[in-house]
Amino acid sequence: MQRVIEIIKEKAGKLLADGTVDRVIGWKDGEFFYDPTPAVFSAGELENLRYDSFCGANVSKYLIAETKKEGKILALLKPCDTYSFNELVKEHRVDRDKVYVLGIECRGKADINKIRDLGIKGIESIEELPGDELLVHTIYGDKTCKLNDVLLEKCLCCKSKTHVASDDLALTGEPMPEAPKDRFAMVAKLEMMTPDERFEFWRGELSRCIRCNACRNVCPACSCLKCVFDNDASGVASKANADTFEENMFHIIRAFHVAGRCTDCGECSRVCPQHIPLHLLNRKFIKDINEFYGEYQAGADTTSRGPLTDYTPDDVEPSIVMKRGGDQ
């Protein structure tokens, strides 16, 4: 059985050799084994390219800058990354002609924190075994765990195992496990709470925010050249919060700015150093959009109009919010 990384390197090597592309964007080792970082490789550097269970990072946002450069780039995109890629193409942020998309297979990515919670420490490297097992090499010897037990939040509710944009595919042909979890379960649970319980829940979560801006910087939909929060007068510019209002405002506006464009790629929650469940804010918007304006998956294509840049004369009135859920 050929491993997917070998297929990727073989295909990338060929495309670099025949001049179709002149560089590749993928992942290389980060500071620790479990935090591979997106990186650009030219011909001859491919031995540093890695792709394994820790490569959860979505590289599509890097293409905004990369497609402004000369030449064509080979992008290694997992199925969920292709949704973000489509959305960027739709918004004219990425020049489709300058990207060669190699869709790579993904069985779901591992969350280092969940592996640690299982008591596995001192991780040196990781291997995917056939089936659902992960072989973890640690300084204390080899350990195994089930991939399903350590999946990232975004992979627990995987949208799809099929690429919605690709020029070529790198697949091993193995069957990919389906995601069992309902992604709106937690949102629905929160909706059933009383407003005060919800307020307490979000206070508990958002008060941990250190305004590191990681959620904003990693988000493929958050790609404005000048962000509203970079304005000194915004009162929430990259500093520790002086008032709870700032946390609320930052997170409401961050989520609102990507409403209708968020593909639910889950990067915001993955990178949050404080483990704030930011995807719950995005999914609330997605759930509302689905309920009010019909099912919509951002990034599923590059032509349809987003729900907030579209309307119908008989949309629901804002007063519908008053009628939903329990009484105040």
Partner 1 sequence: MSIEETKKEYKPLIVAFCCNWCSYAGADLAGTSRLSYPADVKIIRVPCSCRVNPLFILRAFQRGADGVIIAGCHPGDCHYTSGNYYARRRMTLLFSMLDYLGIERARTRVEWISAAEGVKFSTTMNEFAKTIHELGENKKLEDLRCKELLK
Per CB under 8 A, residues contacting partner 1 are 187, 190-191, 195-202, 228, 235, 242-243, 245-246, 248-249, 252-253, 255-256, 259, 281, 284-285, 288-289, 292-293, 307-309, 311-313, 315-322, 324-325, 328
Collapse the DSSP code of 309 into the 3-class scheme (helix H, G, I; strand E, B; otherwise coil) and give the result: helix
Closest contact distance (angstroms) between CB of 327 and partner 1 is: 11
Closest contact distance (angstroms) between CB of 272 and partner 1 is: 17
For every residue of 201-213, DSSP letters joined together read HHHHHHTT-----
Please say which residue, 52 or 264, places its beta carbon nearer to partner 1. Answer: 264
- CB count within 10 Å of CB 66 equals 20
Closest contact distance (angstroms) between CB of 282 and partner 1 is: 10
Please say which residue, 77 or 280, places its beta carbon nearer to partner 1. Answer: 280
How far apart CA 45 and CA 13 sit, in angstroms, is 10
Structure tokens at 134: 């992960």
Rounded to the nearest 5 degrees, what angle is found at the Cα of 217, between the Cα atoms of 152 and 181? 25
How far apart CA 294 and CA 305 sit, in angstroms, is 13
Q: Which helix (H) or strand (E) holds 191?
A: helix 185-192
Closest contact distance (angstroms) between CB of 85 and partner 1 is: 25
Please say which residue, 175 or 294, places its beta carbon nearer to partner 1. Answer: 294
The residue whose two tokens read 């195994």 is 144
Please say which residue, 33 or 293, places its beta carbon nearer to partner 1. Answer: 293
Closest contact distance (angstroms) between CB of 220 and partner 1 is: 20
Closest contact distance (angstroms) between CB of 90 and partner 1 is: 18
Residue 146 near residue 132, CB atoms below 8 Å:
yes
How far apart CA 216 and CA 239 sit, in angstroms, is 14
- CB count within 10 Å of CB 63 equals 26
Please say which residue, 166 or 269, places its beta carbon nearer to partner 1. Answer: 269
Percent helix / strand / coil, the chain, rounded to 5: 35, 15, 50
Q: In sequence order, which residues have a C-beta less than 8 Å from that of residue 86 and are 6 or more positions away?
A: 164, 165, 299, 300, 301, 302
Please say which residue, 35 or 291, places its beta carbon nearer to partner 1. Answer: 291
Please say which residue, 49 or 255, places its beta carbon nearer to partner 1. Answer: 255
Residue of 29, 220, 200 whose CA lies nearest to 123: 29
Closest contact distance (angstroms) between CB of 256 and partner 1 is: 5
Closest contact distance (angstroms) between CB of 43 and partner 1 is: 47
Please say which residue, 214 or 249, places its beta carbon nearer to partner 1. Answer: 249
Please say which residue, 65 or 308, places its beta carbon nearer to partner 1. Answer: 308
Burial of residue 131 (number of CB atoms within 10 Å: 0-12, 13-18, 19+): exposed
How far apart CA 41 and CA 26 sit, in angstroms, is 8
Closest contact distance (angstroms) between CB of 234 and partner 1 is: 8
